Amino acid sequence: MHPPDPIPAVADPTVIFVINRAWAPGFSDEQTYDATRRYWKVGADTRERAVYALGVAGGVVRGAYRIESWHPGGAEGRWGFTGRPAPELAVVGTSVERLAPPRGAANPVRRYLDGIPPSADEPVGVIARELSTEPLARIMYGQRELFHSNFLAWFFDTLPEIADAVFRDLTADAEDDGGRVRRVERERQNLDLVLQWPDAAPLVIENKVFSLPDAGQLEEYRAKTARWKGAPAQHVLLSMSPPDAPVEGWTYLSYQDLAERIDVALAETDDERYEIETLRRYSRVVRLLSALLETTVVHSSAESAWLDGTELAEIDSPQTRTALRKLRARRVQAMVAEQAPGVGRTEADISHGHPLVGWRRRVRVGEVEIQAGWQYQEGQFRLCVVLPHLAGRSEADKRAREAFATEHPELFDFTALYAVLGPADGHVMPRAGFGHFAPDFVYRYVKAPDQSVQQLISATHAIEARLRAFEERTPPTR
């Protein structure tokens, strides 16, 4: 499941309507139009100038329309429009995460009367500077998921009516047995949040921020809740990034969608208490973080594998910089996995503060099974092998691995890769011997800075072809 592309620029005056509560997956074109066109608090200036109207749910454009006329309707002071589809904008299905609303805004109507601007040339720096002005963003650095879970628990307890408007429809009704009370639990059986109402099934929220969801962990958590008494718990995955595939029993809620739910709920109140303003600020921080994570999405294989270090330097928090690098590596990994040969496995991680991606597959060498492939990190493109049969940390173990690698130099042959890697300097390192990562990893590398995702994909296919030829020349011994 790839994240949607960001919304492109729209030159004409545009108004966005947040239709989270009126829209649902599977809506027809007509239902989406009806959800978008009525009824909103829209001033005369917007009605006179707006050319296009967009309906947005879950941070994604669900409908786009050219406005033909306005008419009053619904509650006093609200307006609806009549329009026609606007395919010329090519915005349906795109993400609006980069369009963080003005500071403190909490309104389901968003006005872009000078048009929707193009993506900034340096979005990371722009977003980072905005985040640096938000006290809540400063507080959360270094403890992201814990901060969000604690804040949402405070929200549920402190502003119950608004919290119910945000969360209650995410769970199922249940008969009130007189024993349940409205409360929130933290870390019950390692579950981040459990929201409870007297008349509803428990709502379990697993909270991810920069990390990508793990399907195995979610299945384990659902097995725990299945043993609870009473109405079956409902499960929500709250994350900045969608899972690679739907996970049975879990509903995905993006942080962007959470911010929009909060904004819609706040739009119905004129309360100016400190707690309300804090919630408004939190919504803005969430939108800015969503926009920041948008910069890690791989929209084209022609992009560089890594994020621009100069832009990342604009971010105050080293933990956030590291998290963004890791998320980018995971997204590069996903694209490589999708387009690589059907054998082997990909990897992505952070090591010594630097992101890496790689691909390896099993290879038979005589009667021994090893892994062979590549790894890319910090401008080094490594050809590597993993030798489980020679694993160990002693000098004797290291010498045995080096002897094996020396006997099979074709596993470390870069000749066919230079045309793929482009500016690689051609000097294989180490010049004598091999590099080692204990207990079983052996490699040689060339310097190949700024590789694109496509170059990594092409290198994978070239290495796979070479490994097939190697196996044909070295069949298992009898």
pLDDT score recorded for residue 424 = 59
Q: Give me the pLDDT at residue 272, please.
A: 80
- Does some domain include residue 236? yes
Gap between the Cα atoms of 22 and 150, Å rounded: 29
Mean pLDDT for all residues in the chain:
88
Which of 469, 464, 273, 267 lies closest to 361 in space, CA to CA? 464
> Does residue 348 share a domain with residue 285?
no
Unique residue bearing structure tokens 């609303």:
101
**Same-domain status, 95 and 161:** no
For residue 121, pLDDT over 50 is answered with no
Neighbouring CB atoms inside 10 A of 120's CB total 12
Is the pLDDT assigned to residue 420 strictly greater than 80? yes
In a domain, 308, yes or no: no
Residues 337 and 386 in one domain: yes
Q: Which of 77-86, 178-187, 236-245, 363-372 has the lowest mean pLDDT?
A: 236-245
Name the nearest CA neighbour of 191 among 220, 154, 162. 220
Better pLDDT: 49 or 214: 49
Same domain, 338 and 447: yes
Together in a domain, 64 and 202: no
Domain closes at, from 116, 149, 169 = 116
Whether residue 139 is found in the same domain as residue 85:
no
Domain boundaries, position 324: 320-473
CB-based contact 425:380 (threshold 8 Å): no
Q: What is the mean pLDDT of residues 392-419?
A: 93
Residue pLDDT, tens place only, 63-82: 999 999 999 987 788 999 99
Q: Are residues 339 and 278 in the same domain?
A: no
What proportion of the chain, given as a percentage, has pLDDT over 90? 53
The listed range with the strongest mean pLDDT (53-57, 131-135, 227-231) is: 53-57
Band (387; pLDDT cuts 50, 70, 90): very high
150 and 273 fall within a common domain: yes
CB burial string 6-41: b at 16+ within 10 A, e below: bbeebebbbbbbbbbebbeeebeeeebbbbbbbebe
Question: Does 129 share its domain with 111?
Answer: no
Residue pair 207/194 in contact by the 8 Å Cβ criterion: no
Regarding whether 417 and 380 lie in a shared domain, the answer is yes
**Which among 72, 88, 116 is the end of a domain?**
116
The yes-or-no verdict on residue 193 having pLDDT over 70 is yes
Backbone φ and ψ for 326, nearest 5 degrees, come out as: -65, -40
- Counting beta carbons within 10 angstroms of the beta carbon of residue 359, is it exposed (0 to 12), middle (13 to 18) or buried (19 or more)? buried
135's tokens: 């006290």
Residue 418 counted as domain residue: yes
Per-residue pLDDT band for 475 (boundaries 50, 70, 90) equals low
The arithmetic mean of pLDDT across residues 442-466, rounded, is 94
Tokens of 191: 């579950």
Average the pLDDT over 200-222 and give the result.
87
8 inside domain: no
Q: How many Cα atoms within 13 Å fall on the side-chain side of residue 264?
A: 21
- 315 within some domain: no
Query: What pLDDT is recorded for position 380?
Result: 94
Res. 384: pLDDT tops 90 = yes
Higher pLDDT, 446 or 104: 446
Report pLDDT digits (tens) over 341-361.
Answer: 888 999 999 998 899 999 999
In the predicted model, what is the mean pLDDT of residues 157-175? 93
Instruction: Classify residue 6: in a domain, yes or no.
Output: no
360 domain residue, yes or no: yes
pLDDT at 101: 55
Query: What is the reported pTM?
Result: 0.71
CATH number at residue 138: 3.40.1350
Residue 217 shares a structural domain with residue 335: no
- Lowest mean pLDDT, pick from 103-117, 204-218, 294-308: 103-117
Per-residue pLDDT at 267 exceeds 80: no
Establish whether the linkage from the previous residue to 439 is cis, with ω within 30° of 0: yes
Domain final residue pick, 69, 92, 116: 116
- State the total domains in the chain: 3
Both 186 and 209 in one domain: the answer is: yes
Q: Which of 92, 93, 113 is nearest to 102 (CA)?
A: 113
Q: Rounded to whole angstroms, how far apart are CA atoms 433 and 420?
A: 24
